[in-house]
Structures are given as structure tokens and as C-alpha cells.
Amino acid sequence: DAGVTQSPTHLIKTRGQQVTLRCSPKSGHDTVSWYQQALGQGPQFIFQYYEEEERQRGNFPDRFSGHQFPNYSSELNVNALLLGDSALYLCASRYWDRGLMGYTFGSGTRLTVV
């Protein structure tokens, strides 16, 4: 059973461009969250999608937007890229196990903005 898969693994974009990152949750998981990890920091919550709607959002500007599809997969879009958007972007899908809520993470997309 595949875990959370993310694509692409790496990409390089130019300032001002737009980027789309993709995530497929683990089979059976219906809720997807996105996190940004800048160098030397812990991951920071961007937003979460459930039933194709954004349910909660972290402290990120409107340039960051997302979408969830009927098959539960998700996209993260970033417009007007800034150098500071260079980071590892992680996707996580949520599960319940014996009453405990947990998150399974993908291995991330490394975005470099030049």
C-alpha cells in the first residue's frame, strides 16, 4: 500500500512565476494538510482540506491556495513566487487509529525559487 505520494520531488522556479504541487493521500485517508519547512525550522501548517473544502488555514498569504479533488488528492498552488518561498513542502493525510488521530507524511517537494 502506497503511503502519501507527492510530485514533483524537486523543482526550480523563477521569482514571479506560479507553481503547482501535487499530493495523493494514503489509501483510505480523506483529509489532506500542507506544510512548509524552511531551512533550519520545523514544518509550518499552511492549510487543510476535507470534503473538497479548506477547513483551516495557517498564517500564509493568499498567494498560497489549494484544491482537493473528489478522489481526495490535493494541489497546492503558489502565485507570484518570492525567494522566501524556497522550502520543502510536505503533504500529510489524516487517519484515525483506535480513537487517536494521526498524520502520515509524504517525502515532500523541494521548491527552489531563483
Partner 1 sequence: ILNVEQSPQSLHVQEGDSTNFTCSFPSSNFYALHWYRWETAKSPEALFVMTLNGDEKKKGRISATLNTKEGYSYLYIKGSQPEDSATYLCAFNNAGNMLTFGGGTRLMVKP
Which residues would be at the binding site for partner 1 (CB under 8 A)?
Answer: 3-4, 31, 33, 35, 40-45, 48, 50, 55-56, 58, 90, 92, 97, 100-108
What gap in Å lies between CA 85 and CA 76, rounded to an integer?
13
Shortest Cβ distance from residue 43 to partner 1 (Å)?
5
Helices assigned H by DSSP within 8-89? none
Q: How far is the CB of 110 from partner 1 (least distance, A)?
A: 9
Pick between residue 81 and residue 111 the one whose CB is nearest to partner 1.
111
Cite the DSSP H helix spans in the chain: none
Q: Please report how close the Cβ of residue 15 comes to partner 1 at its closest, in angstroms.
A: 26
Q: How many helices (H) and strands (E) does the chain have?
A: 0, 11
Cross-strand partners of 63: none
